[in-house]
Chain A
Amino acid sequence: MRVVESLRAGLRQSLAADETVHFLGEDVLDPYGGAFKVAEGLSTQFPDRVHTTPVSEAGIVGLGVGMALRGLKPVVEIMFGDFVTLAADQLINHAAKFRWMSNDQVRVPLVVRTPMGGRRGYGPTHSQTLDRLYLGVPGLRVVAPHSLLDPGVMLADAILLEQDPLLFLEHKLLYSQTVRQLDDLPEFVSDRSAGRYPVNRFGLRGAPPASWTFTTYGYMTGLVLEAIERLAYQHEIFAEAIVYTQLSPFDPTPLAASLARTGRLLTVEEGSRTHGWGAEAAAAAASACLQPPLIRRVAAKDMPVPAAGPLEDEVLPGVDDVVQAVLAERAKGSGR
């Protein structure tokens, strides 16, 4: 099963399980089924609760807030993550505020899901990783699945069980990836925290103790695991990965626990470096450590995402960047 099918199944199960679930988005009706086909089949099966909308991102997220305040569980699809900027007021000043400013008299069980990320040549306004704009907004939960768990289960949990607003970020390149179970990764040992949005720890099976902790989320997870293998087999440097699915609010505990063993942190994200997710992850984890860890970051260059393939490759971080960041520290004598 691919990620797109998993997400579709999560939506279908949610709509089937609870009549208060409604789905709204642009171009979501069959046979088109949404720009990335996540909604395919839904409007045929649930014609009264799947609403195709005008091109009005602020309007439809606002509609979702109102629906949520009055007893429904709306799911709003924003066609590209870049367009969530248009709904920023609705997310920040309405969705994230009503529970708080009503002194908890009301709740807003709204899920907004959207594809983020580049590597498809869509250019500067359709390739961004704007996650950071919505991180650290009190009252708004931000989560991002990867393909080493079932994203549809995570989505259905968010829709059916959450009482507060949630932004669900799906990297575009995940859609066509196969959903893998931990058993499908014979090279790695893994454990997974409890909860709806688990933190996974991945270490190489049979490897010596790790001297680096890599932390990441979303699509970069696969690249980080590849880098871990390459560093081990080609350079005899051993790392473990702490992979988040809940980006905000951020819980540094599992990251700090890993750093207590390794002492070296590399944050890896597709968004541009400055003021990114990695900055907060590093600061929060370092604050939770007794010994200050070495901190390095891998991220996109601080420039818009270009359209042309070679330029885009240069701006966005890849496996090589992770490997090189670690090798650079060894060359300086600060990393093994």
Chain B
Amino acid sequence: MIIDRDPQTLYRHMLRIRTFEQQVLDWFPRGLFYGTTHTYLGQEADAVGVMTALQQGDVVVSNHRCHGHFLAYGGSMEALAAELMGRQSGVCAGRGGSQHIQWRDFYANGILGGTLPLAAGMALAERAADSGRLVVAFTGDGALGEGVVYETFNMAALWRLPLLIVLENNRYAQSTPIELNLAGTIAGRFAAFGIPMVEVETTDVEQIADTATALAEEVRQAAGPAALVIHTYRYGPHSKGDDSRDPAEIERHRQDDPLPLQAARLDPATLAEIEGQVTAEVEAAFQAAAEAPPAAPEALTPALEAMV
């Protein structure tokens, strides 16, 4: 298992993401990061719950909001911070930045929806190799506007590919609420292609873990693709400075914060220990990243020669 399904571990992983993302927003004004960022604040239970359903070697395809997926997958916090800061020690040595993260069997691309056919192709490759691995593709409500998503649903179902689609509906595509973007229902889209789907409206990581595990098992039995739709919410802006939502609405959703929900299952001493460790881990990661040498332009010369 990529993440063990015990209450403490689940909480620790969610807190790592929460603290990391909060630190990104806190440090943004310092001018250390290149470009922008899409934080995962509020959605932590999705990535952490889903990772409990995966085995080492399973493939994860992620999107622009990939920090949480990457950290839950087991990616290095320091390397991610370094990537955001354009350091040589970044996950991709500063070439990719916040939304293009590649490590082991984890692939992220910031093009909305365009990653889904990739995930289906990967699933086809794993089946051809009889590897027993499944592919998980994280996507969101915004991507449902992209046509290639439906091309993929069609082929994944037609060819019964070992693909688990995790659709995180955080109810906003950048600034536009889902009511202004989406006709029909999300469930109806999967039903149209005969893709089994489970829909949960929860921030409970344990419920997500149970649901994802059952679905992943179905996919692994070679039954074809399946979908997990998680109705969730992000507490931060889409990226930076583009939040026009009603603060009262955000506050209302904060009542369902996944972290306190899971913290309530742990004793205070354990909580304090985890919090101390995670705070120290995040601080050390950002400090080390900030002190690392910047990405080296000299490295571009051999790269250019390799492209001819």
Q: Which residues of A contact B148 (CB under 8 A)?
A: 56, 58-59, 62, 89-90
Asked whether any CB of chain A lies closer than 8 Å to the CB of B158, the reply is yes
Chain A residues positioned under 8 Å from B118 (CB to CB): 62-63, 65-66, 69, 94
Residue ID in chain B nearest A250 by CB atoms: B308
Distance, CA A65 to CA B114, complexed state (A): 11
Q: Which of A100-108, A120-128, A301-309 contacts B (4 or more CB under 8 A)?
A: A100-108
Q: Which residues in chain A, 90-113, are within 8 Å of chain B measured between CB atoms?
A: 90, 93-94, 97-98, 100-106
Contacts of A98 in B (CB 8 A): 102, 107, 109
Q: Is B196 an interface residue (CB 8 A)?
A: no
B93, B117, B152: the one contacting A103 at CB < 8 Å is: B93
Q: Is the CB of A65 within 8 A of B102?
A: no
In the bound complex, what is the Cα–Cα distance between A61 and B147 (angstroms)? Answer: 14
Taking CB atoms and an 8 Å cut-off, the chain B residues in 112-156 that contact chain A are 114-126, 128-129, 147-148, 151-152, 154-155
A138: chain B residues at CB < 8 Å are 307
Given the interface pairs A58-B148, A101-B96, A101-B100, the reply to whether A71 lies near B114 with Cβ below 8 Å is no
Identify the A interface with B (CB < 8 A).
22, 49, 51, 53-54, 56, 58-72, 74, 89-90, 93-94, 97-98, 100-106, 138-139, 249, 251
Nearest to A61 among chain B residues (CB) is B117
Most buried by B among A93, A94, A98, A102: A102
| Contact call B102/A74, Cβ cutoff below 8 A | no
**A101-B102, A103-B96 are contacts. A139–B307 as well, Cβ < 8 Å?**
yes
* 9 residue pairs from A and B, CB less than 8 Å apart: A53-B155, A62-B117, A63-B155, A65-B118, A74-B121, A89-B148, A90-B148, A98-B102, A249-B308
Q: Tell yes or no: B171 within 8 A of A by CB.
A: no
Q: Tell me, yes or no, whether B48 is within 8 Å of chain A by CB.
A: no
Please, which residues of chain A bring their CB within 8 A of the CB of B100?
97, 101-102
Known: A62-B148, A106-B102, A251-B308. A89 touches B125 (CB 8 A): no
B92 at the A interface (CB under 8 A): yes
Tell me how many residues of B have a C-beta within 8 Å of chain A: 38
Question: A69 to chain B: which residues have CB within 8 Å?
Answer: 107, 118, 121-122, 125
B17 in the interface (beta carbon within 8 A): no
Contacts of A94 in B (CB 8 A): 109, 111, 114-115, 118
The residue from B96, B115, B117, B124 contacting A58, defined by CB atoms under 8 A apart: B117
B111 to chain A: closest residue by CB? A93
- Given A71-B125, A74-B121, A93:B95 Cβ within 8 A: no
In the complex formed, the residue of A with least CB distance to B108 is: A101
Q: Closest residue to B116 on the A side, CB-wise? A: A62
Task: Tell which of A65, A74, A105, A139 touches B92, judged by Cβ atoms closer than 8 Å.
Answer: A105
Chain A residue numbers with a CB within 8 Å of B125 are: 66-67, 69-72
User: What distance in Å separates the Cβ of A79 from its nearest Cβ neighbour in chain B?
Assistant: 15
Q: Indicate if the CB atoms of A103 and B151 lie closer than 8 Å.
A: no
- The answer, among A51, A59, A65, A66, for a CB contact under 8 Å with B151, is A59
> In the assembly, what is the distance between CA of A138 and CA of B303, in Å?
11
Q: Verify A67–B124 contact, CB threshold 8 A.
A: yes
Establish whether residues A101 and B117, one from each chain, have CB atoms under 8 Å apart when the complex forms.
no
Q: Distance (Å) between the CB of B247 and the closest chain A CB?
A: 35
A103 and B92 in contact, given A56-B155, A59-B152, A71-B129 (Cβ under 8 angstroms)? yes
* Cβ–Cβ < 8 Å partners of B107 in chain A: 69, 98, 106
